[in-house]
């Protein structure tokens, strides 16, 4: 089978990270951005991401830069494309304008997957000539390291495309999660949003500082969630009786806490408190946060792979 | 300095896990439970927890069982106690009855720290003879592995006890987090509750299955939260402009998602859906969940310690 030709629309952090991943799996990648400046910066992002991928997968070949074509000409980027991964700014009018133009350059069978966080496939495909080939393929930052991809069909998406997208991303080594229906934020960013709302509420109402909230996470629940999802955590919390026992005996305590959780609003003064709180926390960090995250992620993913083969 | 004498009230999972940790740091431990049955079962929990501690800290000496005294006589358990760690069922009337009795057996200076999740120090100390020595010292399950301890004073707590509790837990190798004020669930279990409410809402409203929610967590956000708290995650998400840029540009998208998050109720039918969903997920798990969690936690904590010394 000939290697795939993947079109990456948008050369920001997400688009460039996807491009590195596609390259590492042998695909030809056309990376499009209307801003030449961003294409130039993307080179360094791809190179660094590729290093991370090789650190995680030492068997991966060196980057074949000849397979990468960067361009600010959309028609060029779309030529003979087998898969379009769209990473434009997360605003509907921007995606609509871009994708309607893309439709003029790609075959009507070519899937268009959107990395959108906040939009729905149904919204994006609305008004397109061939809406059936539009689907959400939402990665998690940074996409070249984090395994999760959420695949979500819109109302007009060809149902067969769900399986095709699953196969496409799994062949890239990703873990594909498919919600039962569309919802803003899909699954993972709804969890993120729910948790973050309470973070903002705690800072805004003086319950805790930004630094102590972050410390509570990384030394507490954040350690378990790398291995077990929230349901499984409470299943173990239920002891011999499992999840049913937990829900019956500690469910009321959860409901009591739910009633005391707060609402939040990112007003200017709250945003200021958050930023000032973070600045204080940064002073105490003994490491560069981004390097620490990526070194940590690579080691953690290796660790999880080794635990899986042990049992 | 003579080794500490620690009284552990309650020999369930939390009490026994604390006991193993105290023993591993050379303390004399008196473990009290009114149920002899539970004391007998605690032996196995302590032995297994101690093995985990030695796996994490190979320099730790073998367990000196002669330092452990198990008893269903409260007066015996409290004799010459330097520190009382209370792990009774999380109901106010149970804690009140127990602690008022404890006050008859310990010196009035002896701190009484409660492992409570859902109660406040102010509620627990209310009506005690020496309320100033009551504080919350809330661990995270399993306490012998997870570093986090949340220390929270009540209205009548001696303010100096906060620092004393911090020193006590830090000497045990714990990471101490101190909220600015009392709130139900402290910090970490408010984050847990906020996230879990949306889990329940997604299952109840048919957005996603239990299994896909758990998979989204462990392959997505759960990986980052082992290293970076939610504020720092978004600071990195803001790129060069950091948290301020993130909040200004993506804050509105968060607020949109907040408006679409749901309420939840653990009705009988929702509990049934959760349990059935979990049972389906368990079939696909290639490992024993508890063993996987503990093996994973030990390796992850070692990994985090090694990353810290590298930079």
Most A CBs within 10 Å: which of B191, B236, B302, as the mutation test of the A interface?
B191
Residue A266: its chain B contacts at CB < 8 A? 247, 251-252, 254-255
Q: Is residue A111 part of a domain?
A: yes
Q: Residue A107, SS3?
A: coil
Q: Is residue A183 part of a domain?
A: no
* pLDDT band at residue A1 using 50, 70 and 90 as cut-offs: low
C-beta of residue B148 within 8 angstroms of C-beta of residue B175 = yes
Give the residue numbers spanning the domain of B241: 188-310
Looking at the partner chain, which of A13, A216, A258 has a beta carbon nearest the beta carbon of B188? A216
Q: How buried is A48 (Cβ within 10 angstroms: 0-12 exposed, 13-18 middle, 19+ buried)?
A: middle
Q: Give the minimum alpha-carbon distance from A76 to chain B in angstroms, rounded to a whole number.
A: 29
- The tally of domains found in chain B comes to 2
Q: pTM for this structure? A: 0.95
- Both B106 and B202 in one domain: the answer is no
User: What's the length of chain B?
Assistant: 311
- Both B230 and B159 in one domain: the answer is no
Closest to A169 in 3D by CA, of A130, A142, A141, A136: A136
* pLDDT band at residue A245 using 50, 70 and 90 as cut-offs: very high
Hey, is the C-beta of B183 within 8 angstroms of any chain A C-beta? yes
Q: Specify the pLDDT at position B3.
A: 77
Q: Is residue B183 part of a domain?
A: no
Helix (H) or strand (E) segment spanning residue B176: strand B175-177
Q: Is residue A158 part of a domain?
A: yes
Hey, is the C-beta of A284 within 8 angstroms of any chain B C-beta? no
3-state secondary structure A284-296: HCCCCHHHHHHHH
Q: Give the minimum alpha-carbon distance from A29 to chain B in angstroms, rounded to a whole number.
A: 24
List C-alpha distances in Å: B228 to A58, A213, B77, B298. 26, 11, 40, 18
DSSP state of A300: H
Q: How buried is A127 (Cβ within 10 angstroms: 0-12 exposed, 13-18 middle, 19+ buried)?
A: exposed
Q: Residue A46, SS3?
A: helix
A-B contacts at Cβ under 8 angstroms: 374
Q: Residue B192, SS3?
A: helix
Angle at A18 between CA A16 and CA A22, to 5 degrees: 115
pLDDT tens digits, one per residue of A129-148: 999 999 999 999 899 999 99
Q: Residue B261: CB partners within 8 Å, gap ≥ 6?
A: A190, A193, A194, A197, B198, B201
- Both B119 and B150 in one domain: the answer is yes
Looking at the partner chain, which of A218, A260, A288 has a beta carbon nearest the beta carbon of B225? A218
Q: CB distance B307–A297 less than 8 Å?
A: no
The pairing of strands B28-32 and B112-114 is: unpaired
Hey, is the C-beta of B281 within 8 angstroms of any chain A C-beta? yes
- Both A173 and A301 in one domain: the answer is no
Helix/strand/coil percent split, chain A, to 5: 55, 10, 35
Q: Residue A291: CB partners within 8 Å, gap ≥ 6?
A: B311
The last residue of a domain, from among A148, A177, A206 = A177
Please name the residue of chain A whose CA is at the shortest distance from the CA of residue B288: A311
Residue A300: its chain B contacts at CB < 8 A? 223, 226-227, 300, 303
Q: Residue A167: CB partners within 8 Å, gap ≥ 6?
A: none
- Both B157 and B9 in one domain: the answer is yes
Q: Is residue A23 part of a domain?
A: yes
- Both A116 and A216 in one domain: the answer is no
C-beta of residue A149 within 8 angstroms of C-beta of residue A181 = no
C-beta of residue A288 within 8 angstroms of C-beta of residue B307 = no
d(CA A273, CA B75): 49
Q: CB distance A291–B311 less than 8 Å?
A: yes
C-beta of residue B175 within 8 angstroms of C-beta of residue B149 = yes
Please name the residue of chain A whose CA is at the shortest distance from the CA of residue B235: A278
Neighbours of B1 (CB within 10 A): 3
pLDDT tens digits, one per residue of A281-296: 999 998 899 899 999 9
What b/e string do you get for B107-139 counting C-beta neighbours within 10 Å, with b at 16 or more? eeebbbbbbbbbbbbbbbbeebebbbbbbbbbb
Q: Is residue B116 part of a domain?
A: yes
C-beta of residue B179 within 8 angstroms of C-beta of residue B215 = no
Q: How buried is B284 (Cβ within 10 angstroms: 0-12 exposed, 13-18 middle, 19+ buried)?
A: exposed
Give me the CATH number covering residue A129: 3.40.50.720
**Could you tell me how far CA B219 lies from the centroid of its own chain?**
23
- What is this model's ipTM? 0.96
Q: Residue A236: CB partners within 8 Å, gap ≥ 6?
A: A228, B289, B290, B293
The last residue of a domain, from among A177, A207, A234 = A177
Residue B258: its chain A contacts at CB < 8 A? 193, 197, 263-264
- Both A263 and A142 in one domain: the answer is no
Hey, is the C-beta of B170 within 8 angstroms of any chain A C-beta? no
CB within 8 Å of chain A, chain B residues 192-231: 192-199, 202, 206-210, 212-231
Q: CB distance B177–A215 less than 8 Å?
A: yes
* pLDDT band at residue A309 using 50, 70 and 90 as cut-offs: low
Furthest CA-CA distance within chain A = 61
- Both A93 and A198 in one domain: the answer is no
Give me the CATH number covering residue A212: 1.10.1040.10
d(CA B75, CA B95): 16
The last residue of a domain, from among B177, B208, B240 = B177
Tokens of A295: 């070194």
Q: CB distance A187–B207 less than 8 Å?
A: yes
Q: CB distance B189–A261 less than 8 Å?
A: no
| pLDDT less than 50: residues of chain B | none
Q: Give the minimum alpha-carbon distance from B244 to chain A in angstroms, rounded to a whole number.
A: 6
C-beta of residue B243 within 8 angstroms of C-beta of residue A210 = no
Q: CB distance B217–A293 less than 8 Å?
A: no
pLDDT tens digits, one per residue of A90-124: 999 999 999 999 999 999 999 999 999 999 999 99
- Both B166 and B212 in one domain: the answer is no
Closest to B100 in 3D by CA, of B125, B76, B123, B118: B125
Q: Is residue B182 part of a domain?
A: no
pLDDT tens digits, one per residue of A147-167: 999 999 999 999 999 999 999
Looking at the partner chain, which of B185, B186, B199 has a beta carbon nearest the beta carbon of A231? B199
Q: Give the minimum alpha-carbon distance from A39 to chain B in angstroms, rounded to a whole number.
A: 16
Name the phi and psi angles at B89, rounded to 5.
-50, 145
Name the phi and psi angles at B176, rounded to 5.
-95, 130
- Both B214 and B157 in one domain: the answer is no
Hey, is the C-beta of A92 within 8 angstroms of any chain B C-beta? no
Residue A271: its chain B contacts at CB < 8 A? 244, 247-248, 251
Looking at the partner chain, which of A189, A212, A287 has a beta carbon nearest the beta carbon of B178? A212
Q: Give the minimum alpha-carbon distance from A106 to chain B in angstroms, rounded to a whole number.
A: 31
Please name the residue of chain A whose CA is at the shortest distance from the CA of residue B266: A251
Neighbours of A309 (CB within 10 A): 7
Looking at the partner chain, which of B177, B207, B275 has a beta carbon nearest the beta carbon of A243? B275
- Both A118 and A249 in one domain: the answer is no
List, in sequence order, every beta strand (DSSP E) within chain A. 5-9, 28-32, 68-71, 83-86, 112-114, 134-139, 148-153, 175-177
* pLDDT band at residue A170 using 50, 70 and 90 as cut-offs: very high
- Both B48 and B160 in one domain: the answer is yes
Cis preceding-peptide flag for B142 (omega within 30 of 0): yes
d(CA B190, CA B179): 12
Hey, is the C-beta of B254 within 8 angstroms of any chain A C-beta? yes
Q: Is residue A56 part of a domain?
A: yes
């Amino acid at each position: 089978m000939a290697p795939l030709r993947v079109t990456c629309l948008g050369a920001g952090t997400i688009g460039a990270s996807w491009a590195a991943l596609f390259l590492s799996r042998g695909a030809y990648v056309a990376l499009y951005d209307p801003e030449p400046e961003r294409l130039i910066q993307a080179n360094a992002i791809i190179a660094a991401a590729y290093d991370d991928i090789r650190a995680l997968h030492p068997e991966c070949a060196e980057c074949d830069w000849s397979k990468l074509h960067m361009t600010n000409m959309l028609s060029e980027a779309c030529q003979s494309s087998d898969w379009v991964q769209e990473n434009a700014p997360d605003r509907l009018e921007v995606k609509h304008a871009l994708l309607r133009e893309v439709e003029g350059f790609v075959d009507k069978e070519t899937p268009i997957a959107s990395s959108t966080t906040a939009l729905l496939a149904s919204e994006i495909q609305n008004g397109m000539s061939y809406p059936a080939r539009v689907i959400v393929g939402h990665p998690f930052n940074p996409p070249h390291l984090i395994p999760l991809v959420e695949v979500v069909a819109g109302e007009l998406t060809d149902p067969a495309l769900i399986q095709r997208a699953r196969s496409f991303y799994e062949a890239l080594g990703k873990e594909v999660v498919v919600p039962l229906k569309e919802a803003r934020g899909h699954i993972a960013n709804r969890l993120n949003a729910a948790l973050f709302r309470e973070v903002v509420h705690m800072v805004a109402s003086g319950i805790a500082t930004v630094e102590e909230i972050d410390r509570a996470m990384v030394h507490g629940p954040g350690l378990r969630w790398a291995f077990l999802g929230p349901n499984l955590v409470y299943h173990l919390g239920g002891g011999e009786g499992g999840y049913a026992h937990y829900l019956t005996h500690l469910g009321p305590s959860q409901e009591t806490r739910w009633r005391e959780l707060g609402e939040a609003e990112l007003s200017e003064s709250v945003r200021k408190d958050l930023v000032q709180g973070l600045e204080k926390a940064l002073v105490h960090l003994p490491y560069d946060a981004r390097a620490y995250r990526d070194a940590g992620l690579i080691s953690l993913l290796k660790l999880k792979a080794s635990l899986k083969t042990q049992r």
